[in-house]
Structure 1
Amino acid sequence: SQMQIKPSMLAAVRAGLQRAYYDSLEFLRTKVSETEKDLEQIKLAFYQCDETDEARFEEYLVKCNENFLSANNVLRRKNIKLEVVDAEVRIVALLNQLREAFSVDEGQIAFISEFWENIRSTLESMKILIDKFKTNVLERLRINCLSYNSAEVHLEVSTRYTEEISTYLSDIEKRLTDMQILLKSWDTGIHQDLFTHTQFTERILVACDLKAFPILRLFPDLTEKAEAVCIIARKWLERDEAYMFEINDYIRETRTMTKKRAEDLKFQKEKHKKIEKAVKAANILLHNNREKLEKIESDLNLLESTLNNYEKEKKCKHVQKQQKESMVDFLKITVSQTKRNYSLQMKRQKMLKQVQDLEALLHELEQHLVECQSEIMEKSQMKEELAEKVEATEKTYGTLKSDLDKFSLNLHVLEQEVSELSGQLLQLEIIQTFKTSPEQMDGIYDRPQSVKLAPSLKEKIKRKRKVTAQVH
């Protein structure tokens, strides 16, 4: 026999898993913070500052701009064609032209050489930063901060979440791709169409000649994009946390609702049985009354037929009697005229006897007719009463049957509702299990954090499905 797990133990395990989940989010937030700190260090190194200050960043770019302008002025005086400085090759070409033009460096060559070294090493650092962000943050978000979706059950809460994080993912990927294209294009010609408009770049646009020196906008743009991906990553983590809160709330609500609706269903099923019983009883009663009515109708038909036969016979016997009476009268006259003819007298007596017999028979027939008519009246009365009864039971049965049909339909709807709620609850619990599973947590950290004693997540989900299937 399996060991029973106490609800309190289950709750403790669940709480532990939830804690582990929130810890994993914190871990991911530290990874985002690491990216932000690395970015800040790269910025400070590039702008040659010891603290983050946009005014000082701008100052450095203005200084770069001045040196480039000064270099261009020298070349203009020497009638050398000026080129837009939008790539590493342009910086190299500019330095070569300056070295040829200057007999003594007035500071521009040294500054631009130093700027070239600065931006080159800075862009290398940015490449490393992007790769680190992809591995440490994006991959973990992509694998862990998502929902478990099922084709069978669609949860609005999950659909909403999935839509939002899909937007976050595409936004991050778009910016990272743009950054990589910009980094690749810097050696031959920057893709200026990928630049983003921000407050800081607006300031630089005013302070520097970015048409002549787009190179000055490259690093500020890359940092703006890098900062943006960190902000989006944080939003994603916040949304994931909010999603877990939503899931937990939904589980509570759905569990309560499922329980309530399941109780309703149980009560309604019992009620349904009672109505079914009443319908059955009404149907039996209707059937019995119809049978009785049919029997009476059959009896009446028989009686009508019997009455008809009696009347025909009465008519026939009446005619016979009349004929015999006429003969008796005729013989009476004949006998009186022939002076006691014995044979005629015998004949008359015989006929007289026949007349008497016919009278007796007619009397008997009359009695039968009266009885038959009386029975017909009685049966007709019964038929009328039964017909009313049948009509009443038909109405009762019809009403009850209609009620039962409506009730059955409502019961079916309720069953569907309970089934859907159970499905939703299962799906929500699967999401909760999925989001807080040790396997899922392990994917977030740099090394496995948990010892996998629990059955695998798939097994857990399979088991949950089986239990739910048995319940319904």
Structure 2
Amino acid sequence: MTWQGNDPPPTIQDVYDFIDRTLKIYKTKLITKVEKLFFGGIDPIQYLIHIEEIFKSKHRVKRVKTLVPKIGGFQELDLFIRTCSEVRRPGGVREAGFTKDLQSFSVSYQRTIKLLAETLEDVRDLYDIVQTFCRNYQSLEGEFELKWARSTNLELKGTLNAIEELISQSDAGVDIKLFSSDKFSLEVAETCDTKRFPVLQLFPDLFQKFHFVFHLMGKWRANDQIYLEDIQFKLIKTKRLQRLKQEEYNTLELEHGNILSGIVEKRVRVKCREMRDRIKQLDSEVYKLTTLQRSITSELTSTEQEIQERKRILFMNKNVTDITKDLDNILGIRKDLEILSKKLKSLTKSVKLNEHDLNVKEKEKVGLEEEYEDMRKAVSRSNQLAYERSELAKDIAVINEKIQELETIFYRKTDRKKLTQAYEVMTGENDE
């Protein structure tokens, strides 16, 4: 069953459908009943030209023109008709027809004003519904373009007030400043002497204003649905972003948890410092061993050369005829050779030991450096993950706030309880 506007609407779509149906009914009524009643099924401009011709024809009588120089409302129109009937003029078919048409214009004037006044009441009721249920709410980020809503509402209020003023002035005399300066109303003003006979422009202007009101309400209703669809789209899009961000956060959290917990991280940092100190110590030991190795190697080379030299001298002494003469010298050289040979063996052993120690230290250093680099990377990655998690948490908080805001706007416009509350406020049913 379709909503008729006599009780709270079940959905916002029912409101949209009601506005569409009602606007169509009002437009049809205005065109087929009110406008047709006034113009009598004749071309509007031709009809108004005919009425203007009657006014001017009657004004040819000086007394009539003097008493009623301007016809701006029904009082002046009625006085004009009575004055014309009191003034005796030569009869004729044309004059009789003018009098009859003038009387018809007077009758349709009153009936049309009454119908337009009733239509205005109905339109204001519909305006209340549009204003109540097609209300727009801006987000905190101001992402919705809502200037149209304010401008449309201002135009509607201004046009409705102008219609009300024209109807209220239709009896005593209208203010021509309230007339529109475009479209059909302007065409009438350019065709007829509406400054002298404002009643000629009154109804065309009122008809035009009513059509403009219908247009604005239809535009407001259509834009409101687009606005609601925008909210739905942004809500879906934001929830999708929320899901992706949350998944990313969960992945980082898992990785961070697998790398280091709070206690492990602290131990790793201490271990890293110890490893760094040990690497420095090994650097120093390796440097000392390397220096010592160079020194021993140099001394070993020098000793080998000295041994060779001693052997050469000893060999030369063997060729001497008087062995007794150089015996002491030979014995001294042999003793030196023994000492140097022992030293050579000692140095050779020292070189091997030094090489072994150096290899052990260098292997330990390489292993520590690799382990230290792995730990350093782990700590660095842990810090990076902590920062990224923190930033993601901020993003997720902002997204959650935006979702809550969009949901609040959406449900404020679509939730049945909210629609009922809005209806009660509009109709005054919740007034105590």
Cα distance in 1, alignment partners of residues 387 and 176 from structure 2? 66
Offset of residue 138 of structure 1: 1.0
Uncovered stretches (5+) of structure 2, i.e. residues with no partner: 1-8, 283-356, 425-432
Distance apart, 1:154 and its partner CA: 4.1
Distance 2:380 2:179 in 1: 71
Where does residue 56 of structure 2 map in the other structure?
A: 69
Determine if the alignment matches structure 1 residue 83 to structure 2 residue 74. no
State the Cα RMSD in Å. 4.3
Q: 1:246-265 alignment to 2 at 5 Å?
A: 246-265=230-249
1:199 alignment partner, one of 174, 180, 183:
183
Match of 1:173 in 2: 157
Matched, 1:27 2:14: no
1:244 has 2:228 as partner: yes
| C-alpha spacing 1:286/1:445, structure 2 compared with 1 (3 Å) | closer
Q: Which amino acid aligns with 1:43?
A: E
**Conserved in 1, the CA contact under 8 Å of 2:188 and 2:204?**
no
SS at match of 2:222: helix
Which residue number in structure 2 is paired with residue 144 of structure 1? 133
Matched letter for residue 427 of structure 1: E
- Distance in 2 (CA, whole Å) between partners of 1:44 and 1:237 is 28
Q: Is 2:93 aligned against 1:102?
A: no
Q: For 1:259 and 1:445, how far apart are their aligned partners in 2? A: 36
d(CA) in 2 for partners of 1:79 and 1:201?
Answer: 26
Q: Structure 1's 213 and 228: CA in aligned 2 closer, same or farther, altered over 3 A?
A: same
Counterpart of 1:36? 27
The 5-angstrom pairing of residues 330-349 of structure 1 reads none
Q: 1:267 to 1:110 in 2, by over 3 A?
A: same
Which residue in 2 is equivalent to 1:283?
269
- Following superposition, the deviation at residue 276 of structure 1 comes to 5.4
Once residues 181 and 409 of structure 1 are traced to their aligned partners in structure 2, the CA distance between those partners, rounded to angstroms, is 66
User: 1:416 is matched with which residue?
Assistant: 394
TM-aligned CA distance change 1:259 to 1:56, over 3 Å? same
1:104 is displaced (CA, Å) by 6.5
- Matching residue's letter, 2:159: R
Distance 2:67 2:183 in 1: 33
Query: Match for 2:104: what amino acid?
Result: E
Aligned length: 340
Maintained 8 Å contact 1:36/1:227: yes
| CA drift at 1:219 | 0.8
The list of structure 1 runs, each at least 4 consecutive aligned residues, that deviate by more than 4 angstroms after superposition, is: 274-279, 289-296, 395-407, 440-446
Deviations 1:112-141 (A, max 9, x none): 343233222212221211111111x21111
Q: Note the residue ranges of structure 1 that are not aligned, 5 or more in a row.
A: 1-17, 50-54, 297-377, 447-472
**Whole-Å Cα distance in 1 between the matches of residues 213 and 256 of structure 2?**
59
On the 8 A contact 1:75/1:98 being kept in 2, the answer is no
Residues 436-464 of structure 1: per-residue CA shift (max 9 Å, x gap): 32235557999xxxxxxxxxxxxxxxxxx
Paired residue for 1:303?
Answer: none
Change beyond 3 A, Cα 1:67–1:404:
farther
Q: Which amino acid letter does the alignment assign opposite residue 64 of structure 1?
A: I
Q: Are 1:434 and 2:412 matched, yes or no?
A: yes
Give the TM-score normalised by structure 1.
Answer: 0.60
Task: Give the secondary-structure state (helix, strand or coil) at the position aligned to 2:193.
Answer: coil
Deviates most, 422-431 or 101-110: 101-110
Q: Which residue of 1 aligns with 2:251?
A: 267
> Aligned AA for 1:57?
P
How many Å apart are 1:216 and its aligned residue?
Answer: 0.7
**Counterparts of 2:148 and 2:390 in 1: how far apart (Å)?**
36
Which residue of structure 2 lines up, in the alignment, with residue 45 of structure 1?
37
Identity %: 18
- Paired amino acid for 2:35: K
Counterpart of 2:78 in structure 1 is 92
Structure 1 residue 70, shift from structure 2 partner: 0.8
Superposed displacement of residue 243, structure 1: 2.7
Q: CA deviation at 1:270?
A: 2.5
* AA matched with 1:97: T
